[in-house]
Chains A and B, each alone.
Chain A
């Protein structure tokens, strides 16, 4: 018999509701000031450094981290609320999101103290941007096929090779990357990879932009040529990155950003149909809302598990699988229903513009951060099938 998959109905505590109000008020002010527009889909190539600093000043970056590193020692649930409000408002989070969600927690766990003291407070202030260097031209789903080499030299390592699909590398100050420090072992092909902190904008790194089908530039190819990384920038165990990379991905899997990326089209559809929808529109909206609500409750539940110190790898993978498939279908379902919206709907143009963008965005949603197939493999392992 399989272990039951439980998603306890966590309720967000009162401090979260208070925080939610603060975040909404802040976002409303920023929208009024013209910092960004909630009606325009998140233009991911729009980098808004001042916005990051303001979010940092509010204490909403590194929220769960220790105070001595600039954190707030608040709960995962509070962080959850900030994340979902930002996402729903289409706030420009590109500059800080990776650092806050992923890179910071890795540094907290594996970086030497002086590096933590140097970098973490700057993340919390919203000053710096991180990129993730996992994928390579021949290593995507199969992370352990990575070939970019780190060769031991005096006081550190020399890096040679190429990373690809690196989001934000063109604006990033740092990258956390895995490089090959030894060949894979016969008995363990995952062996031989090591995680490094890389300072970008140094000689020996070249960042080449790669365009995306949305018309944006978010991806990059990053070429390393005899690039020097000092010894103390090794994160965790030499040759043992595979153990670390899997738990890092758990952070990347179940958050509200994994089902809300195309959410804006749903709000706009509701606006377009008005207060008295026909039966078909009402049913379509009702189903989408029920599905959204269910995923959100699952996602909140996983945040509760993280808060309780658990490692909900399978649960997080399930939320990401269902969530990304949903956010991928959403623009197409909304398009179906939008065909019946009155010509006179005042936001018709906005809705169409949003749909155009969301439909172009959709194909990536089930690929980034681990494909659907890879996630289902992890779930199958959790079920005891592998």
Chain B
């Protein structure tokens, strides 16, 4: 595990180590670990990290919050921590206070749109909303005729069709039909659906990178334990090379995700450079989830394909996280369009901007 270098991560890692041990969770078929874990995270103020004190949160920096998400990925934590953090962040953009409890954000896909009518009522359908079923409230980004609004909505006001993503976590369809918000305010300039998707995408990138780091760790350990042909399998060159490639994918994911997080944490707006960083992180981390996860399974052989083994907690989640807030193919198209629009001679200056 990476050494924690900040207090938020230190606190989170302690809680995860105590209450979110992947093996214990994997053995617990009744999910009785969820409530105590959420409670401990809430008491430490972590779900509302990105909400300033005066809006009910703990006012951690963007950078600390991103590092926390990376740690959550290393434990493949399956409670709506990232979702509540994103919701709190979105609400804070419009100066809306965050209540206690689980939240999630709508929409969670760049293709879905929530609209706001002349009476201020919200309508629309959002698919693949992570943890909608567990959420008490939604933070909603909604489009009016020429305006963007941010709203806090009671989850009971939406119609929820539950679904599960490939990682067995809730990923639901939420329909709002002329719903009255608890609070609704205009979004500040520069915060729009793209901003939300990029922010969500970077959150997922950090989680994927964390999951890959753990997959590398358990794969190396397993290869040093498993004996075949009278040798540890780690001594076979083919296995070593597979693990070296996994290390490369894990490193690339972490580099892309932390670079994007750093870009956002230090940016004054979501300009083209930040767009490049955030979109690239989602694209590259999703590719790494596919390639790296594949290798981790290959190294583990059949045991890693069992539900008893913890590998799937990381590998399937990393695959599932690819889909949230825009898949890699979506972002690749958008990034490609951006690059083309700027023109050939502006490509290198864009890449070399930081």
Show the binding face of A for B, using Cβ within 8 Å.
Answer: 1-2, 4-9, 11-12, 20, 81, 84-85, 88, 266-268, 270-271, 273-277, 279, 281-287, 289-298, 300-301, 314-315, 318, 321-322, 373, 375-377, 379-380, 382-386
Q: B291 → chain A, closest Cβ, in Å?
A: 11
A-B contact pairs, 15 of them (CB 8 A): A4-B1, A5-B247, A6-B254, A20-B352, A81-B352, A274-B340, A282-B332, A282-B336, A285-B332, A286-B336, A287-B287, A291-B283, A294-B252, A297-B354, A377-B237
Cβ B240 vs Cβ A270 within 8 A: no
Q: Across the two chains, which residue of chain A brings its CB closest to B263? A: A9
Q: Write out the residue numbers on chain B whose beta carbons fall within 8 Å of the beta carbon of A268.
A: 344
B-side contacts of A275, CB under 8 Å: 340-341, 343
Contact present for A293 and B280 (CB under 8 Å)? yes
Q: Are B340 and A273 in contact (CB under 8 A)?
A: yes
Residue B105 lies at the interface, judged by CB distance under 8 Å to chain A: no
Q: Closest Cβ of chain B: how far from A300's Cβ, in Å?
A: 8
Contacts of B252 in A (CB 8 A): 294-295, 298, 322
Give the most central of B243, B339, B352: most A CB within 10 Å: B352
| Nearest-neighbor residue (CB-CB) of B253 within chain A | A294
> Which residues of chain A come closer than 8 Å to B337, judged between CB atoms?
277, 282, 286
The chain A residue with its CB closest to the CB of B74 is A4
With A4-B213, A6-B2 given, is the CB distance from A267 to B351 under 8 Å? Answer: no
Instruction: Say whether B224 faces chain A, with CB atoms less than 8 Å apart.
Output: yes
In-complex Cβ contact of B279 among A290, A379, A383 (8 A): A290
A284-B336, A318-B251, A383-B244 are known contacts. Are A289 and B216 too (CB-CB below 8 A)? no
Residue from B256, B287, B335 in contact with A289 in the complex, judged by beta carbons closer than 8 Å: B335
Within 8 A of A (CB), among B245-263: 245, 247-248, 250-252, 254-256, 258-259, 261-263
Mostly, the B contact residues are helix
Q: How far is the CA of A82 from the CA of B261 in the complex (A)?
A: 26
Distance of A294 Cα from B354 Cα, bound (Å): 12
Interface string of B15-52 (1 = CB under 8 A from A): 00000000000000000000000000000000000000
Q: Which residues on B sit within 8 Å (CB–CB) of A9?
A: 255, 258-259, 261-263
Task: Tell me the minimal C-beta distance from B108 to chain A in angstroms.
Answer: 21
Known: A5-B247, A266-B347. A286 touches B279 (CB 8 A): yes
CB distance from A294 to the nearest CB of B (A): 4
Take A4-B1, A290-B335 as given contacts and tell me if A380 and B255 are in contact as well, using a CB distance cutoff of 8 Å: no
B248 surroundings in chain A (CB, below 8 A): 318, 321-322, 379
Residues of chain A within 8 A (CB-CB) of B223 are: 385
Chain A residue at minimal CB-CB distance from B251? A5
Q: Report chain B residues within 8 Å CB of A322.
A: 248, 252
Q: CB distance A289 to B234 under 8 Å? A: no
**Chain A proximity of B226: nearest CB distance (Å):** 12
Q: How far is the CA of A295 from the CA of B339 in the complex (A)?
A: 18
**B residues in contact (CB < 8 Å) with A:** 1-3, 213, 216-217, 220-221, 223-224, 234-235, 237, 239-241, 243-245, 247-248, 250-252, 254-256, 258-259, 261-263, 266, 276-277, 279-281, 283-284, 287, 328-329, 331-337, 339-341, 343-345, 347-348, 351-352, 354
Given A267-B348, A282-B340, 7 new contacts (CB under 8 A): A81-B352, A276-B340, A289-B339, A295-B252, A373-B241, A377-B244, A379-B247
Q: Is the CB of A289 within 8 A of B240?
A: no
Closest Cβ neighbor of A6 among chain B residues: B2
Q: Are B244 and A290 in contact (CB under 8 A)?
A: no
- Give the distance in Å from the alpha carbon of A2 to the alpha carbon of B345 in the complex: 42
User: Sorted from nearest, which 3 A-B pairs have the closest CB atoms?
Assistant: A282-B336, A286-B332, A286-B336
User: How far, in whole Å, are A268 and B343 apart by their CA atoms in the complex?
Assistant: 10
A376 to B247, CA, bound (A): 10
Inter-chain contact B351/A293, CB cutoff 8 Å: yes
Contact B351 A287 (CB under 8 A): no
> In the complex, A267→B191 CA distance in Å?
31
Residue among B221, B263, B333 making CB contact with A1, cutoff 8 Å: B221
Q: Do B354 and A12 touch (CB < 8 A)?
A: yes
The residue in chain B whose Cβ has the minimal distance to the Cβ of A297 is B259
CB distance from A253 to the nearest CB of B (A): 13
Q: Which residues of A contact B213 (CB under 8 A)?
A: 4
Q: Are B284 and A294 in contact (CB under 8 A)?
A: yes
User: Which residues of A are found within 8 Å of B261, using beta-carbon distances?
Assistant: 9
CB-based contact A271/B344 at 8 Å = yes
Q: How distant is the Cα of A2 from the Cα of B3 in the complex, in angstroms?
A: 12
Establish whether residues A376 and B220, one from each chain, have CB atoms under 8 Å apart when the complex forms.
no
Q: B332 and A385: CB pair below 8 A?
A: no
Residues of A within 8 A of B343 (CB): 270-271, 275
Q: Could you tell me the distance between the alpha carbons of A287 and B217 in the complex, rounded to whole angstroms?
A: 27
Give complex CA distance A11, B262 in Å: 9
A5 to B255, CA, bound (A): 9
**Within the complex, what minimum Cβ distance (angstroms) separates B134 from chain A?**
31
